[in-house]
């Protein structure tokens, strides 16, 4: 069986690294924005990037850990099925979304990607493949989300799928008041309805304190014209309007990938939204994976600073690439502060409510029994609406003070988020002290789990990996 061959290749590369060698995945793509210290051996995952089986009757999929959501969606949509939560970028992998954190517009009703996992096979630090589920190796099942490879890597995941319609109708509702925006966001996320109709997807974009939009998505099979944002038009720019509500319509596939074409709005940094350049930009390169290659070139040669900033006598700009979460009652406070603190705009907002049934995990497992959150390394409380806020840009290096330390504004952001009772995703740079980190991400549980599943430290610890760059 092809999957068995892929697993064998992976485990052989693990054993070949030697008993004390640190290891990592030898992946061709990544959606992480934090640096990594070199010196670890790469594990061969070349045979673990596909779909094993789709069961359209049971509405499940068996998927290899390195399978991208793009490939999975291509396999499920012919059955009018889709994963419960599909992160916005095509090259995010199933294993990456579960061991990290994925979020999308269905998260207000479906939670996070790991909540629709039925079972997974994980390569642990002992070199064994361990199967984890809600009833088997429950400690690993609960602690794997947000472990970022510190406990192991998923090689196979069996996930639930949901029925989807052919089209998505969008209502783009403008708000001039952040308080009104917050109240409507809270109510729609809680009730799952807007104007008496069921909501399929819910997210928002804020451009300024007096210009924020909720995009409310409804599913339909009714035929009709649809928009195409893979050509000259840019999705987020279509939201702008002075008053009230505008309407739009997409195929289900184009809705799923509406943000990937321009990497939300980050393609503007490369000129891809300039009408003249966009006309010349090949459509196959209008995708996040290609923009990532441009980011790699910039990191290697410091293109922005050497060509644009240094000739003008300007300092390095501090990269500010973060996703934070606060409860919905703090959204207006956060946005007011952020818009006053910097000139970064727009911001993406996505509500999250843990899926019904996750609360049943509390009190299960041995090591995780005392954890009060179902998924203890990223503690979101059930029956609470959390709002993911994403912002991806840069500020001047002297933004905080002329002699600011590296990451100065990111540190200010971390402090403000903590003041509001929130936390942030760990795919990007983090500057927390170990004490602050443990307060936010599971206390000593990551270390307790490593004693069981990675006693020789073949993988870096969670703090090492996400803060110190191990």
The 10s digit of each residue's pLDDT in 75-118 is: 999 999 999 999 999 999 999 999 998 999 999 999 999 999 99
User: Can you tell me the distance from the alpha carbon of 134 to that of 110, in angstroms, rounded to the nearest whole number?
Assistant: 17
* Main-chain phi, psi angles of 277, to 5 degrees: -65, -35
Q: What is the pLDDT of residue 316?
A: 75
User: Can you tell me the distance from the alpha carbon of 417 to that of 423, in angstroms, rounded to the nearest whole number?
Assistant: 6
Q: What is the pLDDT of residue 305?
A: 54
Q: What is the pLDDT of residue 406?
A: 80
User: Can you tell me the distance from the alpha carbon of 79 to that of 164, in angstroms, rounded to the nearest whole number?
Assistant: 9
Cis peptide before 346 (omega within 30 of 0): yes
From first to last of the 470 residues of the chain, give the pLDDT tens digit.
Answer: 799 999 999 999 999 998 889 999 887 767 666 666 667 889 999 999 999 999 999 999 999 999 999 999 999 999 999 999 999 999 999 999 999 989 999 999 999 999 999 999 999 999 999 999 999 999 999 999 999 999 999 999 999 999 999 999 999 999 999 999 999 999 999 999 999 999 999 999 999 999 999 999 999 999 999 999 999 999 999 999 999 999 999 999 999 999 999 999 999 999 999 999 999 999 999 999 999 898 888 777 665 655 556 566 666 789 999 999 999 999 999 999 999 999 999 999 999 999 999 999 999 999 999 999 999 999 999 999 999 999 999 998 656 666 778 899 999 999 999 999 999 999 999 999 999 999 999 999 999 999 999 999 999 999 999 999 87
What token pair was written down for 247? 């309407």
User: Can you tell me the distance from the alpha carbon of 259 to that of 264, in angstroms, rounded to the nearest whole number?
Assistant: 5
Asked if residue 197 lies in contact with residue 218, where contact means CB atoms within 8 angstroms, the answer is yes
Q: How far is CA 191 from its chain centroid?
A: 24
Q: What is the pLDDT of residue 399?
A: 64
- Residue at 7 is within a domain: yes
- Residue at 419 is within a domain: no
Has this prediction a pTM greater than 0.85?
yes
Q: What is the pLDDT of residue 317?
A: 84
- Residue at 26 is within a domain: yes
Domain containing residue 156: CATH number: 3.30.465.10
Q: What is the pLDDT of residue 111?
A: 98
DSSP 373-415: SSSTTS-PPTT--EEEEEEEEEEETTSS-TTPPTTHHHHHHHH
Nearest to 425, CA basis, from 289, 321, 292, 288: 321
- Residue at 40 is within a domain: yes
Nearest to 219, CA basis, from 258, 184, 255: 255
Q: How far is CA 216 from its chain centroid?
A: 20
**Partners of 245 in the beta sheet?**
173
Asked if residue 143 lies in contact with residue 446, where contact means CB atoms within 8 angstroms, the answer is yes
Q: Cα angle at 240 between 235 and 245, to 5 degrees?
A: 100
Helix, strand, coil in percent for the chain, rounding step 5? 35, 25, 40
| Dihedral, CA of residue 368, residue 107, residue 117 and residue 77, to nearest 10 | -170
Q: What is the pLDDT of residue 27?
A: 75
Q: What is the pLDDT of residue 23?
A: 92
Structural element, H or E, at residue 325: strand 317-327
Q: What is the pLDDT of residue 400?
A: 64
User: Can you tell me the distance from the alpha carbon of 66 to that of 87, in angstroms, rounded to the nearest whole number?
Assistant: 14
- Residue at 459 is within a domain: no
User: Can you tell me the distance from the alpha carbon of 276 to that of 274, in angstroms, rounded to the nearest whole number?
Assistant: 6
Count of domains observed in the chain: 1
- Residue at 147 is within a domain: yes
- Residue at 93 is within a domain: yes
Structural element, H or E, at residue 296: helix 288-301
Nearest to 117, CA basis, from 135, 102, 98, 140: 98
Maximal CA-CA distance, the chain: 64
- Residue at 229 is within a domain: no
Nearest to 377, CA basis, from 427, 325, 441: 441
Q: How far is CA 364 from its chain centroid?
A: 27
CA distance readout (Å), 218 to 36, 68, 248, 252: 41, 26, 11, 11
Q: What is the pLDDT of residue 404?
A: 74
DSSP 13: H
Q: What is the pLDDT of residue 36?
A: 67
User: Could you identify the residue written with the tokens 């789709």?
Assistant: 54
Helix (H, G, I), strand (E, B) or coil at 244: coil
**Partners of 350 in the beta sheet?**
388
* Main-chain phi, psi angles of 303, to 5 degrees: -60, -50
Helices and strands counted in the chain (H then E): 15, 18
Asked if residue 310 lies in contact with residue 50, where contact means CB atoms within 8 angstroms, the answer is no
Boundaries of domain holding 119:
2-163
Asked if residue 346 lies in contact with residue 240, where contact means CB atoms within 8 angstroms, the answer is no
Helix 331-341 × helix 178-191 angle, to 10°: 140
Looking at the chain, how many residues does it have? 470
User: Could you identify the residue written with the tokens 């000739």?
Assistant: 311
Q: By CB neighbour count within 10 A (0-12 exposed, 13-18 middle, 19+ buried), where does 280 fall?
A: exposed
């Amino acid at each position: 069986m092809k999957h068995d061959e892929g697993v064998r290749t992976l485990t052989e590369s693990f054993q070949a690294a030697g008993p004390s060698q640190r290891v990592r995945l030898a992946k061709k793509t990544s959606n992480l924005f934090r640096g990594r210290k070199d010196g670890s051996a790469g594990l061969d995952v070349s045979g673990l990037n596909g779909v094993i089986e789709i069961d359209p009757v049971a509405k499940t999929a068996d998927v290899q850990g390195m399978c991208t959501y793009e490939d999975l969606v291509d396999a499920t949509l012919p059955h009018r099925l889709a994963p419960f939560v599909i992160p916005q970028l095509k090259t995010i992998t199933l294993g990456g979304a579960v061991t990290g954190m994925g979020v999308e517009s269905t998260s207000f009703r479906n939670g996070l990607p790991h909540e629709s996992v039925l079972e997974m096979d994980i390569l642990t630090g002992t070199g064994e493949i361990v199967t984890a589920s809600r009833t088997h190796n429950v400690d690993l099942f609960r602690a794997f989300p947000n472990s970022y490879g510190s406990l192991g890597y998923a090689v196979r995941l069996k996930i639930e799928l949901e029925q989807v319609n052919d089209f998505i109708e969008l209502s783009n509702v403008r708000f001039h008041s952040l308080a009104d925006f917050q109240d409507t966001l809270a109510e729609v996320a809680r009730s799952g309805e807007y104007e008496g109709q069921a909501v399929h997807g819910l997210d928002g974009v804020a451009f300024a304190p007096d210009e924020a939009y909720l995009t409310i998505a409804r599913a339909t099979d009714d035929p009709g014209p649809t928009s195409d944002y893979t050509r000259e038009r840019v999705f987020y720019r279509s939201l702008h309007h002075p008053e009230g509500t505008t309407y739009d319509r997409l195929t289900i596939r184009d809705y799923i990938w509406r943000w990937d074409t321009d990497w939300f709005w980050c393609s503007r940094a490369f000129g891809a939204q300039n009408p003249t350049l966009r006309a010349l930009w090949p459509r196959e390169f209008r995708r996040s994976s290609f923009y990532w290659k441009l980011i790699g070139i910039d990191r290697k040669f410091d293109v922005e600073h050497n060509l644009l900033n240094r000739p003008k006598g300007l300092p390095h700009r501090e990269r500010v690439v973060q996703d934070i979460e606060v409860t919905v009652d703090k959204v207006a406070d956060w946005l007011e502060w952020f818009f006053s603190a910097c000139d970064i705009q727009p911001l993406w907002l996505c509500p999250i409510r843990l899926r019904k049934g996750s609360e049943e995990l509390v009190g299960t497992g041995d090591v995780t029994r005392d954890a009060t959150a179902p998924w203890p390394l990223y503690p979101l409380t059930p029956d609470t609406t959390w709002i993911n806020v994403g912002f991806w840009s840069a500020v001047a290096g002297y933004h905080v003070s002329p002699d600011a330390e590296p990451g100065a504004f990111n540190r200010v952001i971390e402090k403000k988020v903590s003041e509001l009772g929130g936390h942030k995703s760990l795919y990007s740079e983090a500057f927390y002290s170990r004490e602050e980190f443990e307060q936010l991400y599971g206390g000593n549980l990551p270390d307790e789990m490593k004693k069981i599943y990675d006693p020789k430290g073949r993988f870096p610890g969670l703090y090492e990996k996400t803060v110190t760059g191990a």
